[in-house]
């Protein structure tokens, strides 16, 4: 009708030879005001084009004002090409002409064209106005990939003195916030002379997006002190930050402010309050607000679904969705994305697949947000391949898509794939945010990717994200997991703010890197800074308590803190207490804590089994396993691993084989934890052939499997095979880790391969970038010490990259005993006494050094000191297991039922090997007695009694297996060689350090151990 009327009017105008027909009487008010407002009021595109056509035909001469409104009209209808045509054909332009054209480019999403238009504007001698620059900043903001251009526009703002324009300044705040540069935004904010409520809100949004809700609340408090009133956007942002802080009291204060400002009926604010209370776990309050709303939009329903999802009420969220479909009848991508986010577990994945079908049905499978959520739920449910499939099928991806896929790869150990994704983000000119860096840094948590991690650290600094709390936490975790505690502490100390996650990462890093004292010190500092400890903090710091001294000094006081802070009922804390008391020598307390538990989950059962196994109570550990099954608790891979480790510790093969059979029955034998624990069990039980039988094929082996194989060969004295296995591992492209080199260095130490061992140590650091840990250093000290290079060992200790522990000094002291070096032995003993005055091994080893050098007065002095300090020597014990029964023997054992037969057999063996040339080495009898008594004492050693028992009770020509809790005596080692050769028997002896395979009068160690 409008077009017909305009056309008819035009015809009349033509008939009247161009006479002007007034439009002021036109029935359409958008047209009737044309002479006053130009095209600015037009809302119908067709009518607007028809009016433009009539103007061209002579209805009216279009001046600057009308042309400006015409540009704006075409921009509003998305036809930037015609808008540009109008602009180019204007006879005269003013500042608004340029502004409208600039706005047209931005509105159409032609962001780079808007920058080109700025250059054209300046070439024409026109200085951009605040409006134009605000539009340009918005363009750089919305593009998501024009950071450098935005910074250049900021420079122009300063150059033209427009920083005082509140709209320009606020646009810049939004821009820096979008790119995660909260500190740049803060600097600008403080420089702005004038600020309005939008400026303050933009600053809050910047810190909210930056992941710093505490600073959002600080800015909000400042704004209130300035006397500014809040708008709906302000309170929505504040409510969101309050939810992130998980502060219920603060949440109710915000609710009070909402009511005070009269915004409780505002839908946007109500929606934010629903989300806030949902995040705080206050489902009832969220439901109350939702139920009291006079009007609800789709966001309201989505918020209510999100509340149920956040609080693990998956079925409630589905009911809410069902209600929404019947009452509201409008579903969008956010609705389904929110529902999907509650299905990211194995239990709820069936619902997730069903909702995925709805996504396809509603045609939302091309929606970026929905696809991002699908990637997240499949990743969370262990379906990484399905997540990858969704990602690959996406026609368009945003930064969240890339971040989600990168996080998925990092979660499942696909580090290279995760880093490739990060590289593609940069190649596609997307700006990585703090989430991108957090996922990428998590992918570098394996020490072999530490170089890539350092590069990422440099990029973090270059992009200005080094002060972001979450990125800082990720950097601390990166360095702690790579054993680089100095770098971790440096990052920690330079962080502007630290939360409990930061402290947990540092404390856990000290524990994992065997720095218990530093872990406890960090825990004390955390408490001094009034940072509340959570269950992770407690679990970490309890892991630093490893000895009886630690129990009294740290463990029990920490237990008291647990009670005071109300964390005693936490399952993780309870399980950590069970483990801590066991490691500190108090198994009774571990059992008492376990018995008091009302709800025993699989983790608790695993903890108590490990506790008993740690104390050598393998039978008790296995009894718990049986009780666990009777209680209906599913035995998991970790429980099997603990029990297999227990059987390995005491080398009880039959029980280990029974566990393997049970694992096969339950379908857990192929689990990597169980498979590797089974291999380790066979290796420690002396069954190297069984290790080789069950180990996966080379191409299918994990690095842990390779490590176990190398360790097994090293433990059994097959040093060349250990080296060959390492070389094969390298050829197949499997990168060694710190555990690999511990096994290699141990093999070299026990095999006397000093130069090769030192070469491995240096290549570990220089070629593979693996920092030397305390275990590597112990191996090097042992390597040098055993070979008699004691001065070099002492120098190495002084230059070690980590502080020496008792293991280092004990290794040096043992070497001094072998080579009779009293001077260095004294220094090693003094350091041991400083570390732990109650260490019985320090007294015994140093006493042996003194005895081997004939200093019997010093021996007596040390023994009297032990007596006065109530320090008891750990007694030697050897045992043999036959027919499900363990027979153990101490020094000069007389209580065994077969004692008379055992000693008769010993006399028989003594006579036989003396006739074959055996001469006793009485230097191993460390008592100040005559030679005859010394020889007698040697024949009372526990490993000889166990040998006699084994020979009596096993079939002729069968292999005899003997186990000892302390290092085998050198003279006993000679006896075993003679017996194996004269009787034609294979004898396997395991001490705490290695296996000795005796056969034909020789030992696999080649007399070097």
Question: Would you state the pLDDT for residue 641?
Answer: 84
Pick from 363, 364, 428: nearest CA to 399 = 428
Three-state secondary structure of 243-302: HHHCCHHHHHHHHHHHHHCCCCCCHHHHHHHHHHHHHCCCHHHHHHHHHCCCCCCHHHHH
Tell me the C-alpha distance between 781 and 783, whole Å.
Answer: 5
Judged by DSSP in three states, 206 sits in helix
Tell me the C-alpha distance between 774 and 807, whole Å.
Answer: 9
Residues 770, 773, 778: CA angle, nearest 5 degrees: 130
809 and 896 together in one domain: no
Helix axes of 333-341 and 298-310: crossing angle, nearest 10 degrees: 10
Tell me the C-alpha distance between 763 and 525, whole Å.
Answer: 37
Q: Beta partners for 885? A: 882
Pick from 733, 678, 686: nearest CA to 708 = 678
- Token readout for 373 is 């959520």
882 and 972 together in one domain: yes
- Averaged pLDDT, 96-106: 90
Report whether 841 contacts 812 (CB < 8 A). Answer: no
Residue 9 has pLDDT above 50, yes or no: no
Residue 276 has pLDDT above 70, yes or no: yes
- Token readout for 708 is 């176990």
Question: Would you state the pLDDT for residue 927?
Answer: 66
DSSP state of 447: G
Q: With 0-12 CB in 10 A as exposed, 13-18 as middle and 19+ as buried, what is 655?
A: buried
**By mean pLDDT, which of 312-321, 502-511, 898-907 is the weakest?**
312-321
731 and 847 together in one domain: no
Pick from 354, 286, 364, 363: nearest CA to 315 = 354
Pick from 280, 196, 202, 269: nearest CA to 236 = 269
Which contiguous run of DSSP H or E holds residue 999?
Answer: strand 995-999
Q: With 0-12 CB in 10 A as exposed, 13-18 as middle and 19+ as buried, what is 155?
A: exposed
Question: Would you state the pLDDT for residue 472?
Answer: 94
Question: Would you state the pLDDT for residue 400?
Answer: 87
Question: Would you state the pLDDT for residue 926?
Answer: 62
Residue 550 has pLDDT above 90, yes or no: no
861 and 924 together in one domain: no
Three-state secondary structure of 526-584: HHHCCCCCCHHHHHHHHCCCCCHHHHHHHHHHHHHHHHHCCCCCCHHHHHHHHHHHHHC
* Band of residue 430 on the pLDDT scale cut at 50, 70, 90: low
- Token readout for 481 is 């997991």
User: Tokens 């019997």 sit at which residue?
Assistant: 856
999 and 883 together in one domain: yes
Residue 2 has pLDDT above 50, yes or no: no
DSSP state of 891: T
* Band of residue 913 on the pLDDT scale cut at 50, 70, 90: very high
- Averaged pLDDT, 377-398: 87
Report whether 960 contacts 909 (CB < 8 A). Answer: no
Pick from 182, 183, 179, 158: nearest CA to 168 = 158
For 785-803, how does the pLDDT look when each residue is reduced to its tens digit (9 = 90+)? 989 999 999 999 999 988 8
843 and 897 together in one domain: no
- Token readout for 994 is 């290695």
For 712-729, how does the pLDDT look when each residue is reduced to its tens digit (9 = 90+)? 888 888 888 999 999 999
Question: Would you state the pLDDT for residue 806?
Answer: 87
Question: Would you state the pLDDT for residue 494?
Answer: 93
- Whether 63 is in a domain gets the answer no
Report whether 478 contacts 487 (CB < 8 A). Answer: no
613 and 719 together in one domain: no
Pick from 65, 69, 3, 74: nearest CA to 39 = 69
- Whether 656 is in a domain gets the answer yes
**By mean pLDDT, which of 576-585, 840-849, 956-965 is the weakest?**
840-849
Question: Would you state the pLDDT for residue 21?
Answer: 52
Rounded-to-10 torsion of CA 974, 976, 977, 983: 140
* Band of residue 429 on the pLDDT scale cut at 50, 70, 90: low
- Token readout for 364 is 């939302």
- Averaged pLDDT, 687-705: 88
Backbone angles phi and psi of 358, in degrees to 5: -65, -35
Judged by DSSP in three states, 835 sits in helix
Of 857, 874, 891, the last residue of a domain is 874
Helix (H), strand (E) counts: the chain: 57, 6
897 and 993 together in one domain: yes
Judged by DSSP in three states, 7 sits in helix
Note down the domain range covering 850. 798-874
**By mean pLDDT, which of 89-98, 297-306, 633-642, 888-897 is the weakest?**
633-642
Max CA separation in the chain (angstroms): 145
Backbone angles phi and psi of 877, in degrees to 5: -150, 135
Better-predicted residue by pLDDT, 105 or 14 = 105
Residue 12 has pLDDT above 60, yes or no: no
- Whether 997 is in a domain gets the answer yes
Question: Would you state the pLDDT for residue 928?
Answer: 59
- Averaged pLDDT, 70-98: 91
- Whether 28 is in a domain gets the answer no
* Mean pLDDT, the chain, whole residue set: 87
* Band of residue 586 on the pLDDT scale cut at 50, 70, 90: very high
Pick from 300, 299, 298: nearest CA to 286 = 300
User: Tokens 């900043």 sit at which residue?
Assistant: 137
User: CA–CA distance from 597 to each of 444, 575, 866 (Å)?
Assistant: 38, 10, 40
Q: Beta partners for 964? A: 878
- Whether 171 is in a domain gets the answer no
Tell me the C-alpha distance between 841 and 834, whole Å.
Answer: 13
Tell me the C-alpha distance between 749 and 110, whole Å.
Answer: 69
Question: Would you state the pLDDT for residue 764?
Answer: 93
User: Tokens 């045509």 sit at which residue?
Assistant: 85
Residue 1001 has pLDDT above 70, yes or no: yes
Question: Would you state the pLDDT for residue 13?
Answer: 40
Contacts of 712 (CB under 8 A, 6+ apart): 679, 680, 683, 688, 691
Report whether 976 contacts 989 (CB < 8 A). Answer: yes
* Band of residue 300 on the pLDDT scale cut at 50, 70, 90: very high
Tell me the C-alpha distance between 11 and 4, whole Å.
Answer: 10
Which contiguous run of DSSP H or E holds residue 157?
Answer: helix 147-159
Of 661, 694, 727, the last residue of a domain is 694
User: Tokens 């389904």 sit at which residue?
Assistant: 336
Backbone angles phi and psi of 131, in degrees to 5: -60, -45
- Token readout for 485 is 């505690």
Question: Would you state the pLDDT for residue 345?
Answer: 76
Residue 741 has pLDDT above 90, yes or no: yes
Tell me the C-alpha distance between 318 and 309, whole Å.
Answer: 9
Residue 10 has pLDDT above 60, yes or no: no
* Band of residue 777 on the pLDDT scale cut at 50, 70, 90: very high
Report whether 786 contacts 818 (CB < 8 A). Answer: yes
β-pairing verdict for 987-990 and 960-964 = parallel
For 311-337, how does the pLDDT look when each residue is reduced to its tens digit (9 = 90+)? 888 889 889 988 998 888 788 888 888
CA atoms within 13 A on the CB side of 306: 22
- Whether 726 is in a domain gets the answer yes
883 and 997 together in one domain: yes
- Averaged pLDDT, 971-997: 91
- Averaged pLDDT, 144-166: 88
**By mean pLDDT, which of 163-167, 786-790, 897-901 is the weakest?**
163-167
Judged by DSSP in three states, 632 sits in coil
Report whether 957 contacts 984 (CB < 8 A). Answer: yes
Better-predicted residue by pLDDT, 228 or 946 = 946
Residue 692 has pLDDT above 80, yes or no: yes
Residue 361 has pLDDT above 90, yes or no: no
For 277-291, how does the pLDDT look when each residue is reduced to its tens digit (9 = 90+)? 988 888 999 999 998
Residue 18 has pLDDT above 60, yes or no: no
- Token readout for 6 is 């305009």
- Whether 464 is in a domain gets the answer no
Question: Percent of the chain at pLDDT above 90?
Answer: 33
Three-state secondary structure of 840-853: HHHHHHHHHHHHHC
User: Which stretch, 66-75, 375-384, 811-820, 861-870, has highest mean pLDDT?
Assistant: 66-75
CB atoms within 10 A of CB 448: 17
Pick from 396, 481, 470: nearest CA to 439 = 470
690 and 718 together in one domain: no
| CATH number reported for the structural domain that contains residue 513 in this entry | 1.25.40
- Whether 95 is in a domain gets the answer no
User: CA–CA distance from 484 to each of 312, 468, 707, 973 (Å)?
Assistant: 38, 21, 22, 42
For 175-222, how does the pLDDT look when each residue is reduced to its tens digit (9 = 90+)? 988 888 888 899 999 988 888 999 999 999 888 888 888 899 999 999
| Predicted structure pTM score | 0.60
- Token readout for 734 is 């499997």
Tell me the C-alpha distance between 517 and 515, whole Å.
Answer: 6
Contacts of 35 (CB under 8 A, 6+ apart): 23, 24, 60
Residue 840 has pLDDT above 50, yes or no: yes
Question: Would you state the pLDDT for residue 574?
Answer: 92
- Averaged pLDDT, 754-771: 91
What is the domain count for the chain?
A: 5
626 and 526 together in one domain: no
Tell me the C-alpha distance between 333 and 845, whole Å.
Answer: 72
Residue 16 has pLDDT above 90, yes or no: no
User: Tokens 């483990």 sit at which residue?
Assistant: 579
Better-predicted residue by pLDDT, 218 or 647 = 218
Of 813, 843, 874, the last residue of a domain is 874
Q: What is the CA radius of gyration of the chain?
A: 39
Report whether 205 contacts 240 (CB < 8 A). Answer: no
899 and 987 together in one domain: yes
Tell me the C-alpha distance between 196 and 177, whole Å.
Answer: 17
């Amino acid at each position: 009708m409008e077009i017909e009327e305009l056309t008819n009017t035009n015809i009349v105008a033509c008939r009247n030879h161009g006479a002007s027909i007034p439009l002021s009487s036109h029935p359409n008010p958008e047209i009737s005001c044309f002479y006053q407002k130009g095209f600015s009021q037009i809302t119908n595109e067709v009518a607007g084009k028809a009016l433009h056509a009539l103007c061209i035909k002579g209805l009216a001469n279009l001046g600057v004002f009308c042309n400006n409104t015409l540009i704006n009209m075409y921009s509003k209808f998305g036809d930037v090409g015609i808008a540009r045509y109008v602009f180019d054909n204007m006879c005269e332009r003013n500042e608004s002409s340029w502004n409208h054209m600039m706005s047209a480019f931005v509105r159409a999403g032609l962001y780079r064209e808007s920058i080109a238009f700025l250059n054209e504007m300046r070439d024409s001698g026109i200085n951009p106005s605040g409006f134009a620059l605000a539009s340009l900043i918005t363009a750089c903001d919305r593009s998501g990939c024009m950071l450098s251009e935005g910074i250049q526009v900021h420079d122009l703002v300063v150059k033209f003195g427009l920083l005082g324009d509140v709209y320009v300044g606020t646009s810049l705040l939004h821009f820096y916030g979008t790119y995660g540069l909260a500190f740049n935004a803060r600097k600008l904010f403080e420089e702005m002379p004038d600020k309005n409520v939008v400026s303050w809100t933009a600053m809050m949004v910047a810190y909210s997006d930056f992941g710093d809700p505490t600073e959002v609340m600080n800015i909000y408090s400042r704004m209130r002190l300035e006397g500014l009133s809040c708008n709906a956007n302000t309170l929505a942002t504040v409510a969101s930050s309050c939810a992130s802080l998980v502060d219920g009291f603060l949440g109710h204060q915000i609710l009070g402010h909402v009511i005070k400002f009269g915004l409780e009926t505002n839908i946007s604010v109500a929606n934010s309050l629903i989300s806030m209370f949902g995040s705080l776990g206050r489902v009832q309050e969220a439901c109350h607000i939702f139920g009291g709303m006079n009007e609800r939009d789709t966001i309201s329903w989505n918020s209510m679904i999100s509340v149920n999802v956040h609080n693990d009420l998956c079925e409630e969220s589905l009911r809410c969705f069902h209600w929404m479909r019947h009452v509201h009848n409008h579903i969008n991508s956010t609705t389904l994305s929110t529902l999907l986010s509650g299905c990211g577990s194995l239990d709820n994945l069936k619902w997730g697949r069903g909702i995925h079908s709805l996504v396809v049905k509603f045609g939302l499978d091309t929606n970026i947000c929905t696809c991002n959520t699908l990637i997240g739920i499949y990743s969370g449910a262990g379906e990484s391949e399905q997540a990858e499939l969704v990602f690959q099928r996406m026609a368009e991806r945003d930064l969240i898509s890339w971040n989600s896929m990168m996080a998925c790869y990092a979660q499942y150990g696909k580090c290279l794939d995760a880093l490739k994704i990060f590289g593609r983000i940069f190649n596609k000119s997307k700006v990585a945010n703090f989430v991108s860096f957090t996922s990428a840094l998590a992918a570098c948590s394996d020490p072999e990717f530490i170089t890539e991690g350092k590069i990422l650290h440099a990029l973090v600094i270059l992009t200005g994200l080094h002060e972001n709390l979450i990125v800082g936490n990720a950097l601390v975790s990166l360095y702690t997991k790579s054993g680089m505690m100095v770098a971790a502490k440096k990052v920690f100390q330079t962080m502007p703010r630290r939360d409990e996650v930061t402290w947990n990462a540092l404390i856990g890093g000290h524990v994992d890197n065997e720095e218990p004292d530093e872990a406890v010190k960090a825990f004390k500092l955390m408490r001094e800074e009034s940072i509340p400890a959570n269950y992770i903090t407690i679990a970490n710091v309890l892991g630093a308590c490893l000895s009886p001294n630690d129990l009294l000094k740290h463990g029990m006081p920490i237990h008291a803190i647990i009670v005071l802070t109300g964390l005693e009922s936490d399952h993780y804390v309870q399980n950590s207490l069970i483990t801590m008391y066991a490691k500190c020598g108090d198994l009774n307390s571990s059992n008492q804590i376990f018995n008091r538990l009302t709800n025993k989950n699989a983790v608790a059962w695993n903890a108590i089994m490990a506790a008993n196994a740690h104390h050598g109570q393998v039978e008790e550990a296995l009894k718990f396993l049986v009780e666990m099954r009777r209680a209906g608790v599913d035995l998991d891979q970790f429980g099997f691993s603990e029990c297999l480790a227990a059987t390995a510790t005491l080398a009880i093969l039959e029980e280990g084989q029974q566990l393997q059979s049970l694992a096969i029955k339950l379908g857990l034998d192929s689990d990597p934890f169980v498979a590797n624990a089974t291999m380790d069990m066979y290796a420690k039980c002396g069954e190297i052939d069984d290790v080789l039988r069950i180990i996966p094929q080379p191409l299918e082996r994990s690095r842990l499997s390779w490590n176990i194989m190398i360790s097994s060969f090293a433990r059994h004295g097959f040093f060349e095979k250990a080296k060959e296995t390492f070389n094969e591992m390298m050829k197949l492209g499997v990168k060694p880790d710190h555990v690999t080199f511990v096994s290699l260095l141990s093999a070299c130490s026990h095999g006397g391969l000093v130069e090769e061992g030192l070469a491995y140590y240096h290549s570990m650091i220089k070629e593979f970038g693996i920092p030397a840990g305390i275990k590597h250093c112990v191996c090097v000290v042992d390597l040098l010490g055993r070979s008699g290079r004691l001065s070099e060992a002492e120098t190495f200790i002084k230059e070690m990259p980590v502080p020496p522990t008792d293991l280092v000094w004990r290794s040096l002291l043992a070497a001094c005993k072998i080579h009779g070096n009293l001077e260095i032995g004294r220094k090693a003993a003094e350091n041991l006494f400083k570390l732990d005055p109650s260490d019985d091994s320090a007294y015994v080893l140093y006493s042996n050094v003194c005895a081997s050098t004939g200093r019997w007065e010093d021996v007596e002095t040390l023994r009297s000191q032990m007596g006065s300090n109530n320090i008891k020597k750990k007694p030697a014990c050897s045992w043999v297991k036959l027919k499900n029964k363990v027979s153990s023997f101490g020094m000069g054992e007389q209580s065994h039922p077969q004692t008379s037969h055992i000693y008769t057999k010993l006399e028989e063996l003594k006579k036989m090997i003396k006739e074959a040339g055996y001469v006793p080495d009485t230097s191993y009898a460390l008592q100040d007695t005559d030679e005859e008594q010394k020889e007698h004492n040697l024949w009372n050693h526990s490993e000889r009694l166990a040998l006699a028992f084994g020979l009596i009770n096993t079939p002729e020509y069968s292999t005899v297996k003997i186990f000892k809790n302390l290092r085998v005596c050198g003279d006993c080692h000679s006896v075993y060689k003679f017996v194996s050769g004269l009787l034609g028997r294979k004898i396997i002896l395991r001490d705490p350090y290695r296996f000795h395979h005796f056969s034909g009068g020789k030992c696999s160690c080649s007399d070097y151990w």
